[in-house]
Amino acid sequence: MMKQPNWLLHRADLTPDRVALIYGDKEWTFRELAIEVERLAIRLSHASLKKGQTVALLMHNHPQMVMFVHACFLIGVKIVLLNNKLTDAERQYQLEDAGAVALLTEPMFAKAYKGDLPFYTIDTLPEAHQIHSDQLIKEFDLNETATIMYTSGTTGRPKGVEQTFGNHFHSAVSSALNLGLREDDRWLIALPLFHISGLSALCKSVIYGMTVVLHQKFDVDEVKASISQHRVTIISVVQTMLSRILSRSEACPSSLRCVLLGGGPAPLTMLKESKQKGFPVFQSYGMTETCSQIVTLAPEFSEEKLGSAGKPLFGCELNIQDGQRVCRPYEHGEIMVKGPNVMKGYLHREEETAAAFEEGWLKTGDIGYVDEEGFLFVLDRRSDLIISGGENIYPAEIEAVLLTHPYVKEAGVTGIHDEKWGEVPAAFLVTDEKIPVDELFALCQSQLAKYKWPAAFHFVDELPRNASKKLQRHKLKVKGVFR
């Protein structure tokens, strides 16, 4: 049984006066954060929460959420991180499926909560009159489940991904070996903490001894000001965030050494603009099941391997398979990954966990290929694949072409039923100005094979995205107010 000292307490002992967290105009050192977390952990234990139980956490990005996460770890309680954009019914399903015994939340969610579980805000927990530190869990078992995050559920009911302390630790170590680590590193997080990109930065913070600059949400002007004010060196983004930052920037801020881009392949035009303006974009590929990135492309390859997600992180492996056969370079197949950051399994789902793995390899459900040097190119989700007259069509390929139009801000492509071909692609666009449909057809005809041409173009006010800003193509057929 592999054990490690509690990360926050160990970090507070090693570098007590380093800044751990910045939120607005407030900051906490690791010592100050540990003191508040210990007090909160005792209050949680006074609320009858016990080691081995599971609690749900429903909050916006806020220092109190950071403290709740560490406090739960400190009393040995597993955390289900709930997406705050879900409906009551969706949340209730996850609470019941995970077997949560309580809900930790904030006043605005507490007022609307209609379930039967006991729920607490930081103001309604019992007071800790005396801190009994011997009640706290001073060591982590790396094989134990730390957090549970539910997948988007595009092909059925969401599944709870069990992420162990070991998964989080090895993810942080592999990332540091790839991105490097500096004493002055500061990581800005404007992605939700209930998403793996946000949560993984909290783990990195206490493992590295690194400051996290936390934002409640992404606001391009606030983020730009924060990067300059706090000398931010690393920021996690998805396409839409990077696009807005680029549109409001002439050049990259001098402190920024890494823009970690996740959430799907980026359009080549965006990558070229990033390079032109000096933004060090590290394209990455990962998922909830891999505790964030598992493949990353360093900027030195950004021009030579434009469009690639890169190579596996140190200690991780990658394969492309077509059924039982390992694909040769440039052959399309399912992306398979392996490494110590890959999930323990799906909660209460032994059959689905077994089906997700093949001889230790995680079947990602994503389609891609590697070139002759082993660089990964992600094409699309298998579930989003359009099969038209026997031909495979990857929506992301069509979206990338449409995004080259200067007036197209966002593009989403999905398959719609067709009597002759079975399915044909249809495009949903968010645009700055009205674009003649003939112009869009001409653009596609100039760059795509005929069977990939969209059968229709729909102009919408917004595209359906989840909390981490990933495009939800399965909702495109019913989404949008048409102009």
Range with top average pLDDT, 27-31, 241-245, 432-436: 27-31
Q: CA-CA distance, 221 to 389, in Å (whole number)? A: 47
Q: What is the pLDDT of residue 133?
A: 62
Which amino acid, residue 149? Answer: M
- pTM (predicted TM-score): 0.84
Q: What is the pLDDT of residue 130?
A: 66
Please, which residues bridge with residue 283 across strands? Answer: 261, 297
Query: Mapping DSSP to helix (H, G, I), strand (E, B) and coil, where does residue 88 land?
Result: helix
pLDDT digits over 160-196, tens only?
999 999 999 999 999 999 999 999 999 999 999 999 9
Q: CA-CA distance, 209 to 292, in Å (whole number)? A: 19
Calculate mean pLDDT across residues 264-290.
Answer: 87
24: phi then psi, degrees, rounded to nearest 5: 60, -125
- Domains of the chain listed by start with CATH number: 1-141 (3.40.50.12780), 164-339+365-381 (3.40.50.12780), 385-478 (3.30.300.30)
Q: What is the pLDDT of residue 480?
A: 38
Average pLDDT, the chain: 91
Asked if residue 475 has pLDDT above 90, the reply is: no
**287 vs 235, more confident:** 235
Asked if residue 35 has pLDDT above 50, the reply is: yes
Quick one: pLDDT band at residue 482, thresholds 50, 70, 90?
very low
pLDDT digits over 69-81, tens only?
999 999 999 999 9
Q: What is the pLDDT of residue 379?
A: 83
Quick one: pLDDT band at residue 450, thresholds 50, 70, 90?
confident
Q: What is the pLDDT of residue 479?
A: 43
Calculate mean pLDDT across residues 442-446.
Answer: 91
Only one residue has tokens 């730009």, namely 224
With contact defined as beta carbons under 8 Å apart, do 76 and 141 qualify?
Answer: no
**348 vs 270, more confident:** 348
Share of the chain above pLDDT 70, in %: 95
Q: CA-CA distance, 299 to 316, in Å (whole number)? A: 20
Calculate mean pLDDT across residues 351-368.
Answer: 93
pLDDT digits over 314-340, tens only?
999 999 999 889 999 999 999 999 999
Q: What is the pLDDT of residue 132?
A: 61
Q: What is the pLDDT of residue 483?
A: 31
Share of the chain above pLDDT 90, in %: 72
Q: What is the pLDDT of residue 166?
A: 98
Q: Which residues have C-beta within 8 Å of that of residue 77, sequence separation ≥ 6?
A: 44, 49, 50, 51, 52, 53, 54, 55
Quick one: pLDDT band at residue 209, thresholds 50, 70, 90?
very high
Q: CA-CA distance, 296 to 313, in Å (whole number)? A: 7
Which tokens go with 466? 């989840």
**Number of C-beta neighbours around residue 63 at 10 A:** 17
Calculate mean pLDDT across residues 293-319.
Answer: 90
- Which of 5, 18, 15 lies closest to 212, judged by CA? 18
Calculate mean pLDDT across residues 449-471.
Answer: 86
Asked if residue 128 has pLDDT above 60, the reply is: yes
Q: Which DSSP helix (H) or strand (E) runs through 167?
A: helix 165-179
Which tokens go with 378? 């992600």
Q: What is the pLDDT of residue 49?
A: 94
